[in-house]
Amino acid sequence: MRLELIEKFRKREAYIAIVGLGRVGLPTAAVFADASYQVIGVDVRSDVVQAISLTKIRTKEPGLEELLKKVVKLGRLRASTNTPQAVKQCDVVIVCVQTPLDSQRKPDLTYLKSACKGIAQALSKGKLVIIESTVPPRTMRNIVLKILEKESGLKCGEDFWLAYCPERITSGKILQKFATDDRIVGSFDKDSAIVALELLKTVTSGDLSLTDCESAEVAKLAENTFRDVNIAFANELALICEQVGVDVKEAVRLANSHPRVKIHSPGCGVGGPCLTKDPYLLLSSRGCVDVEAEIIEASRKMNDLMPSHTARLVLKAIREAGKDVKNSRITVLGVAYKGETDDTTNSPAERIIDELIRLGARVAVYDPFSEEGFGGNKIPVVWEAVKESDVLVVVTDHQMFSSLDLSKIKKLMKEKPVIVDGRRLINPKDAKRYGFIYYGIGFGI
């Protein structure tokens, strides 16, 4: 059976079901369809299925809409709400459902369990199941494997194959990263590893590392947790620099000249679907081991502090300008959690805007990628957004914000204009030369 399925991969004759058509699943479906596979995308949301069938998607991920139109027109990708029916027709099932946190910041695996039960209803011999969703340690063994075997009556490694291949995509570069980034393939048995490896080799040029499922689960979470911890250090360093009168950008530049040091950039907060969630998924395993994970928790607290710190910088700057925050007009540049994307998941902009509005400010919002306003007045043209504004707050590191015409902005804003740079995109010397009061994260000079 194994050799037959691998041969189907090589001839692109395999049928593939992608369960979950969000920011991971939809690009995954499009990429496999573009590689000449027949793909069925599955999602419980009928509006998502309809949008894909009509090739009218909301995300502004570069190249995705064009690729989607291509593969749908060629008949290689169709969408459905029926998981068991799709599984019956396919040789491979790839699960890309969300694994969010609940109100207590504990893993909510409801969507994953539901997907596995739907798959198990139609699972038959000779099929490969791959989980791409990010999961807590031992989820594959204690939840996924048990559901699939119990509900189907089949045996993993004998009747079907199962692998954990966590995604490594980046918003704004998903298609590029999917095709070139290295991937991890975790499995319970040799045959599952080989079959999953052969499939992925047909869509990526990156190196594929084989390991067991538990190691793959921890490695995926460690990647994003490390970045979160590193950013937290950079943010704490920035707060220290503000106090002692040093520019954190210069301090980081000098420190990073050491061959074994690579400090990340500080900023007004950490957002996105991964860095704000994965540390808690990793920490959820503490129930079965005696570990005090103080560094990870402290890092999360530090990064969660930064939106409030940014709002405090706004207050400080407004007072220096001799103004009151109440009824001041504040323009927030960027609501996406990172530059060159429309993704606003857990964006620090939401908290910054909320705090400024609660303080009585009138908030205008401009983002060239996103339609979200988070309660602020969304304005589609940057020059209109900054007009008659008292304060300009840079929240997202979109490239265009680093090359704004400060001379023009100065003329449009009110007297004693303020810039609060949450991403350190604007040169402080340039801002002061044009007559701005400048405050930036980690700028203590």
Which DSSP string corresponds to 209-251?
Answer: EEEEHHHHHHHHHHHHHHHHHHHHHHHHHHHHHHHHT-BHHHH
Q: Do the domains spanning 2-213 and 239-445 agree at the CATH topology level?
A: yes
Q: Among this protein's residues, is 146 annotated catalytic?
A: no
Q: Choosing from 156, 241, 268, 274, which is the catalytic residue? A: 274
- CATH superfamily for 2-213 is NAD(P)-binding Rossmann-like Domain (3.40.50.720)
Q: Alpha carbon of 149 to those of 82, 116, 156, 216: distances in Å?
A: 20, 10, 7, 21
CATH class label, 239-445: alpha beta
Q: What is the pLDDT of residue 303?
A: 98
Q: Would you state the pLDDT for residue 445?
A: 76
Q: Is 220 a catalytic residue?
A: yes
Q: How far is CA 14 from CA 9, 10, 30, 74, 115, in A?
A: 6, 9, 15, 16, 21
Identify the pLDDT of residue 55. 85
Do the bridges between strand 161-164 and strand 183-187 make them parallel or antiparallel, or are there none, so unpaired? antiparallel
437: which strand partners? 418
Q: Which of 90, 96, 127, 220 is catalytic?
A: 220
Task: Locate the domains of the chain by residue range.
Answer: 2-213, 239-445
**What pLDDT does 2 receive?**
86
pLDDT tens, residue by residue, 291-328: 666 899 999 999 999 999 999 999 999 999 999 999 89
Residue 56 is predicted with a pLDDT of 84
Residues of the chain with pLDDT under 70: 287-293
**pTM for the whole thing?**
0.94
What pLDDT, on the 0 to 100 scale, is given for residue 348?
98
